[in-house]
Structure 1
Amino acid sequence: MNNDNLPKNRTLTLQRIFDAPLEIVWAAWTQPEHIANWWGPKGMETTVLEHNFEVGGSWKYAMKMPDGNEFIADGVYSEIVHHQKIVSSANFKPMTENVEIHSIFESDGEKTKFTFHCVHETEEYCKQQEQMGFYNGWGSVFERLNEFLQNT
């Protein structure tokens, strides 16, 4: 049996411990007025165009780069477990399309353990995305989230 296309071979993962209670991290991730403050790598300005936070609901964010160029990020929620897990399709056109993101939240006292999985269609596409800077890009996003949480 060929194991090349198993989810674990098509997934890139980041983990963080945020120095904020689960309820605050969850709100930052799920409420559009908060998302606009941290979504996207450093230097980007995000506008929430659509945010229907329910299973089957869609989200769409415009992300403006420092040079004025803009791109759209969008997806559809497929699973939401309150204070635990959010699963969504995601497109970050033109860089990344047809991925699934899994955001896992775990309370650890006054801190929150956060795990982010990005599942790609193929192992080859996953490797390509990693080489294009997945860890730096998403690392920057979650650093912005951390800064936002510290100032909330």
Structure 2
Amino acid sequence: MAGARQETRTEPATADREIVLSRSIDAPRELVFEAFTEVRHLSRWWGPEGFTTTTRSFEFREGGEWDFVQHGPDGTDYPEWITWTAIVPPERIAMLHGEFRGDPNAFESVVTFDLDGAATRIEMRALFPTKKLRDEAVEKYHAIEGGQQTLSSLAAYVTEIVKGVED
């Protein structure tokens, strides 16, 4: 067929170690980026449904760290640690995320903030060291559902800020 274009896609070699989540949020990109990078916002929306977050320390800069605890609805505490490896406001954040500094099981994560008309398309990519660790995150810790809930919480949070500004 003249003019037809055939496209061949191959899965990257890392596909079995990766989780990719995305969502369009009806808010300006700068606001979504700010909500993702300032501790005063993060504590209001970070984590799956029913979880709360206590920050021990927070320094948002390349090489900076966020040391925090996620408190599950069943009372279980989950220590967490993030160090930012690249920051390109308001487009992209790369980080290493584990339970503690030097965690050999820490995973790499990249969050992008793309313009989607007046909205923002956020994509979170998590790349685990091994397929086994990725599968454990999905099966034991419900990483996909938890990530989707976290993005829903972010969307609800920034949407409320936008409504408050418009009122």
* TM-score, normalization by structure 2: 0.80
Cα offset, 1:92, TM superposition = 4.4
- Count of residue correspondences: 146
User: Which of these residues, 81, 84, 88, is aligned with residue 81 of structure 1?
Assistant: 88
Match of 1:134 in 2: 143
Tell me, which stretches of 5 or more residues in structure 2 are unaligned?
1-11, 162-167
* Cα deviations by residue, 1:14-66 (Å, 9 ceiling, x for unpaired): 01000101011001000100000011111111122222111111111221222
CA 1:64/1:129 → structure 2, altered by over 3 Å: closer, same or farther?
Answer: closer
Secondary structure in structure 1 of the residue aligned to 2:45 = coil
**Aligned 1:11-26 pairs, distance under 5 A:** 11-26=18-33
Q: Secondary structure at the match of 2:106?
A: strand
1:67-88 superposed Cα distances (whole Å, 9 cap, x missing partner): 3332221121111111111111
Ranges in structure 1 where 5+ consecutive residues have no aligned partner: none
Summarize the alignment of residues 114-129 of structure 1 with structure 2, pairs less than 5 Å apart.
114-129=122-137
Q: Comparing 119-128 with 75-84, which one deviates more in the overlay? A: 119-128
What's the TM-score once normalised by structure 1's chain length? 0.87
Structure 1 residue 131: deviation in Å? 2.6
Q: CA RMSD in A?
A: 1.9
Counterpart residue number, 1:8: 15
More strand as a share of residues: 1
Using the TM superposition, give the Cα deviation of residue 100 of structure 1 relative to its aligned residue in structure 2, in angstroms. Answer: 1.0
Q: 1:110 to 1:140 in 2, by over 3 A?
A: same
Is 1:44 aligned to 2:64, yes or no?
A: no
Q: Structure 1 segments of 4 or more deviating over 6 A?
A: none
Whole-Å separation in 2 of the counterparts to 1:60 and 1:7? 28
Residue identity over aligned pairs, in percent, reads: 25
My pick for the range that moved more, 24-33 or 71-80, is: 71-80
Q: Which amino acid aligns with 2:106?
A: N
Given candidates 102, 107, 111, the residue that maps to 1:103 is 111
Deviation at 1:140, TM superposition (A): 1.0
One-letter code aligned to 2:121: K
Instruction: Classify the secondary structure of the residue corresponding to 1:36.
Output: helix
Equivalent residue for 2:79, pick from 63, 68, 72: 72
Q: Which has the larger radius of gyration?
A: 2
Change in CA separation of 1:92 and 1:150 when aligned onto 2, cut-off 3 Å: farther
